[in-house]
Amino acid sequence: MSASRSALIARPKSVFDVERIRADFPILTLSPGGKPLVYLDNAASSQMPQQVIDRLVRYQTTQHANIHRAVHTLSEIATAEYEEARRKLARFINAREEREVIFTSGTTEAINLAMHGYGRKFIGAGDEIILTTLEHHSNIVPWQMLAEEKGARIRVAPINDAGELSMGEYEKLFNEHTKLVGVAHVSNALGSVNPIKQMIAFARARGVPALVDGAQAVPHMKVDVQDLDCDFYAFSGHKMCGPTGIGVLYGKAALLERMQPFKGGGDMILSVTFDKTTYNVIPQKFEAGTPPIAAAIGLGAAVDYLSTVGMDAIAGHERDLLEYATEQLARMPGVRIIGTAAEKAAVLSFALDGVHPHDVGTLLNQDGIAVRTGHHCAQPVMQRYKVPATSRASFALYNTMAEVDALVAGIRNVQKLFS
């Protein structure tokens, strides 16, 4: 018996009523391509429970007005609900203060905010930014743009064949020019969970702030930004059962206060004359214009939902799914799992001998199985493994062991067709 199998048996199974959870997600009952949906594309975007849909409907039907700028009752209600959503998000990630939660349109905008607000002010010629091979393009390209503009340099922490970062290699990259570390909490392409707590501690001990891209972590595990002691933490609503168009940049208040605004416009100012504008305090300084009010409130409902189910219970269930799926695929001839880190979350990337990932995705779709194929916006990871693309199954709280079986059967069908 393999070590992972014995660990699976030794650990008490979580009591997780997945069927009850599934009943909350109306889309899971559909057959969009004519076959019952097996939705395994959660790393790209997860589905929304009825509770969040209902909250959006209630907001739009009874509470909608623009926020912050009026004394009429509806505007006061909308403002209170929007700010309540901020409180919920702050509690969910254990931020010290609500004003440390900046609403953005998603992880991409959150990282761009950090780049413009922090990077453009505090990073200059000759400075260095440490990233990792595992980053999503949204945690690479903004920093490259900054490096190009300022004459700064990007340094990259490598991974081993399993898709794990080595602390030793990471530590070697630091020197007196290091001004920022950007690291994914969980790799979207491989599922590797990075040792971010040690990475952050190492950076902070040298006075270097650390930004964590948490897009693939927040939906799957308890995240405590105070415990991590990160300076920034970015994530997206639509990957955690919330709406699209909303996300969060968490930042330590003292840091956010020192940063320059990202976007200029209404709400982010205290006063404007043609001679001078005085900026608002945080978080408003970073929320120019009318924010995605409904989406923020919907995200508040999503974290209520996830909290009610329990992040530890979700993590346990998804660990069971991943272990089971890994074990199944590892046994299949002609299947190569890409990314075999000891610590993984919710993502299983694989390649089939002699079959292009695009064909894998297309054929699985004919069986109703939704997986993602491509470079997953992580081309440096593909380059590291010398593959153009992978097929990626990614799990959420509502997936089942039967869906893993369906994936395995689907892969067998693909192999038969290509044999």
Ligand X SMILES: Cc1ncc(COP(=O)(O)O)c(C=O)c1O
Name residue, tokens 């979350």.
345
What is the three-class DSSP state of 282? Answer: coil
230 is catalytic: no
Shortest CB 133 distance to ligand X, Å: 13
Using rule CB under 6 A, residue 42 touches ligand X? no
Contact letters for ligand X, residues 232-261 (x by CB under 6 A):
----x-------------------------
* Contact range with ligand X by CB under 6 A, out of 4-12, 106-114, 200-208, 282-290: 106-114
The 10 Å Cβ neighbour count of residue 278 is 9
Among 21, 38, 63, 106, binds ligand X (CB under 6 A): 106
Q: Which helix (H) or strand (E) holds 154?
A: strand 153-157
Burial degree of 51 (CB within 10 A; 0-12, 13-18, 19+): middle
Contact positions with ligand X (CB under 6 A) in 173-192: 184, 188
By rule CB under 6 A, what string of x and - marks binding of each residue 61-80 to ligand X?
A: --------------------
User: Considering beta carbons, is residue 243 or 283 the nearer one to ligand X?
Assistant: 243
State the nearest-atom distance from the C-beta of 327 to ligand X, in Å.
Answer: 25
Which residues inside 124-183 make contact with ligand X, applying CB under 6 A?
Answer: 136, 138
**Binding of ligand X by 394 (CB under 6 A):** no
Least Cβ distance, residue 215 to ligand X (angstroms): 4
Among 107, 178, 326, 340, binds ligand X (CB under 6 A): 107
Q: Is 407 in the site for ligand X (CB under 6 A)?
A: no
**One residue of 216, 326, 394, 415 binding ligand X per CB under 6 A:** 216
- Of residues 141 and 332, the one with the C-beta less far from ligand X: 141
Q: Is 213 in the site for ligand X (CB under 6 A)?
A: yes
Among the listed residues 103, 321, 136, 296, the one whose alpha carbon sits nearest the alpha carbon of residue 212: 136
E strands along 237-276, which residues? 247-251, 269-272
The 10 Å CB-count burial string (b at 16+, else e) for 308-323 is ebebebbbbbbbbbbb
Q: How far is the CB of 407 from ligand X (least distance, A)?
A: 20
The answer to whether the peptide bond before residue 209 is cis (omega within 30 degrees of 0) is no
CB of 292 to ligand X, least distance (A): 13
Dist. CA 291–CA 121, nearest whole Å:
24
3-state class of 350 per DSSP? strand
**Helical spans, DSSP H, in 173-310:** 196-205, 225-228, 253-258, 293-309
**Residue 282 and residue 58 in contact, taking contact as beta carbons nearer than 8 Å:** no
| Active-site residue (options: 53, 77, 253, 377) | 377
- Per CB under 6 A, which region of 17-25, 174-182, 209-217, 254-262 contacts ligand X? 209-217
Binding residues for ligand X, total number by CB under 6 A = 13
Q: How far apart are CA 285 and CA 120, in angstroms?
A: 16
Q: How far is the CB of 332 from ligand X (least distance, A)?
A: 26
Q: Which bin fits 289, alpha (ψ -120 to 50), beta or left (φ > 0)?
A: left
Name the site residues for ligand X (rule: CB under 6 A): 43-44, 106-108, 136, 138, 184, 188, 213, 215-216, 236
Task: Tell me which residues are annotated as active site.
Answer: 377
